[in-house]
A and B are shown apart, each in its own frame.
Chain A
Amino acid sequence: MESITSIREELTGKTEMSPENENDLLIRLEEIERDGKVVDPLPKSDWIGIAITFFVLGLLPLLYYAIKLF
C-alpha cells in the first residue's frame, strides 16, 4: 500500500492520461515494482542457445564464404 501511495504522489497528473487510464496505470506499476518484473527473463541455457545460433547461422556462413573465396 505504501508503494501505491508513493507512485500516486509521484505520478498523479503527470502522465498525460485520462484519470481512468492513469489509475489503471498506477495499479499496474505497483504490481511490477512489487515483483520486479512482469515475466521472468530468459534463463542462462537460452542465452547459450542464442550465442550458438548467432555464431553458427549468423557469422559462420559469412566466414565460410569469405574463406572459400580468398
Chain B
Amino acid sequence: MRKHEMNINSEVQFDLLPIMKNDREYGFRDYSFVITGFAVATWCFLIGGTLALFVDFKLAIIASISGNMIAIILLSMSTSLPSAKYGIDGFTSSISYLGHNGTKSYLVLNAVVTVGWTIVLCTLVSRSVIQILNYITGKDFSSNLYVVIFGLIVALFCWFVTLRGPHLIKIMSTIVVPVFLVVIVILIFLISRSVGWGEIAQMSALEPFDDPWLNFLIAFELSLGAGFSWWPNIGGLARICKTSRAAFWPNILGLVFAATVGTALGAAAALLIGDSDPASWMIPICGGALGILSLILVSIANISANSIMIYTTSLGLKQVRALFRQRWFIVTAVYMVPTLIGLFWSNLIYDHFYFILGLACLIYCPISMMAVVDFFLLRNQKWDMRQFYNKTPESKFYFWKGFNPVAVFVFITATPVYYFFLDPITLECTPAFRYATATGAVAVYCAIIYYILSKAVCFRMSKGGYDQ
C-alpha cells in the first residue's frame, strides 16, 4: 500500500479515537471564530435568496433566527454536548442508537445530502463563470450545455484537490474565511450606498403564495433545514473544545446569528435585483470590475468548501468496511461519480435547491431527536465507551445484526409523516402544515415513538446496553 493510502487509513482510525482534554485546541473564543467563519459562507446567499422568494426582508431575518435557533439548539444537544463530554464525533456517537451497521448505512445516507450540496456549489461556480464570460464577451453562454460543462470542470477540479490530500485543502481553507468576509463587506457597503436598508425593508417577496402565514412557515421550515444541515460537522468540532460551554454557545453565535447576517444579505440582494440566484445579482449590484472580482472570490470560496466536503465525507465513507481497504481514488470516486452524473441535471437541482434543505430536515431531524432522547432520557447522559469500539457482535451497541430496529423504524416512518405535512419537492402542503410545520411534527413524532419503542423493545429484551 502506498504511503499516502496508509496515511489516509491511519487518519481514519486516529479520527475515531476519543480526544482527551489536554489534546483539545478550542476555548470559547477560538471556537466562536472557527464556527463563525464556517457559518458565514456562500450557502447563506443561496438560502437568503430562497427565503426572499416567499417573505420580505424583515420576515426573512425573523424566520432565519427562529428556525436556525430551534434546529441548532436541538443539534447541539444531540451532538455537541455528548461529543464534548466524551471526545467522540457525532457519527461515532450515533452507534449508541443506530447500532454499528446502522451508523455505516447512515454515513452513506449522509453522503447523499452532501452530494446534493456539492452539485449546488459546483453549479453556482459554473453560473458565476458564465456571468463573467457574458459580461466580458458580450455573448450569451447561459444555455444548459455550458452550465453542465463548466459544472463538470469545477467538480473534476475539486476532485483533483481532494486527491492531492489534506495539505492542499488546508491551504485553500485558510483563504476561504477572509475572502468571503471581503465579499460580505463589499456587498454591505454597496447595498447601503445604492438604496439603503429602509427601502429594502419595504420591498415585497419575489414569488410568494397568497397566504402570508404559509409564506412565513415555509421560510421558517427552510431555515430549520439550513440549521439541521450542520449535523455532520458540529460533533467533530465540539470534541476539540476544552469545555462543554465552549462547545455549545458559539454554535448559537455562529450558526444562528452570523449565518443570519449572510442570509439577510442574500435576501436583500435578491429583493433588490429580483433574482434569487447569487451568480445573477453580483455584477448588477457591484458593477463590472467589482462584480467580476466578487464572483471570482465567491467561486474560490465554493471550490474550497466543496473540496473540504468531498474530503471529509470520503473519510467518513472509509469507515464502511467494503471501502476501508480500497484506494483513496476509489473511495472518492464513490462520492464523485454520483456528483458528476447529477451535474447533468445541475440547473434543475440548483433551481430547486430548497429540496436539499427539506432532505436535510428529513434525515437530520429524526437523527437529532433520537440522539437527544437516547442520551438524555434513556441513558441518563452516560455511555459505556467500550461498546463504541468493540466491532464484534459481542458489543452491546450491536443490537440485532448491527442495527437498532427501533431507530430504523422511527427513521423510515418519519418520511411519510413529513410528507403528510409538506412535499419538499413541490412545497405543496396540507392544512395540517399550518399548525405544526413538517419538521416540528417529525421532531415530536420521533421523540415520542423512539422513547416508547425503546422501552418496549430494547429495554425488555436487554439490547443496547441500557441500564434497567
Contact = CB atoms under 8 A, between A and B. Distances in A.
Interface of A: 7, 10-11, 14-18, 21, 24-25, 28-29, 31-33, 36-43, 46, 50, 53-54, 57-59, 61-62, 65-66, 69-70
Contacts of B20: 28, 31, 38
A32 B18 contact: yes
Contacts of A58: 66, 69-70, 73
Interface residues of B, number: 48
A28 B23 CA distance: 12
A42 B381 CA distance: 11
Contacts of A61: 62-63, 65-66
13 contacts: A11-B386, A14-B391, A15-B390, A25-B18, A29-B389, A32-B18, A38-B19, A38-B21, A42-B244, A50-B248, A53-B73, A54-B73, A65-B62
Interface stretch (B9-17, B41-49, B229-237): B9-17
A28 B18 contact: yes
Contacts of B63: 61
Contact of A33 (B69, B244, B385): B385
Given A37-B85, A40-B243, A29 B386 contact: yes
Contacts of A7: 386
Interface string B247-279: 011001000100000000000000000000000
A41 B244 contact: yes
Contacts of A32: 18, 86-87, 385
B308 interface: no
Contacts of A39: 21, 24, 84-85, 241-244
A37 to B, nearest CB: 5
A14 B394 contact: yes
B437 to A, nearest CB: 9
B144 interface: no
B460 interface: no
Interface stretch (B135-143, B212-220, B337-345): B212-220
Main secondary structure of the interface of A (DSSP, over half): helix
Given A15-B391, A53-B73, A41 B21 contact: no
B170 interface: no
A37 B19 CA distance: 11
B85 A38 contact: yes
A69 B392 contact: no
A37 B245 CA distance: 15
A54 B19 contact: no
Contacts of A53: 69, 73, 252
A9 to B, nearest CB: 11
Contacts of B244: 39-42, 46
Nearest to B257: A57
Contacts of A65: 59, 62, 213, 216
Given A18-B13, A21-B13, A39-B85, A46 B248 contact: yes
Count chain B CB atoms within 10 A of each CB in A24, A28, A38 and give the residue with the most.
A38
Contacts of B115: none
B163 to A, nearest CB: 23
Interface in B198-219: 212-213, 216
A6 B18 CA distance: 18
B18 A38 contact: yes
B286 interface: no
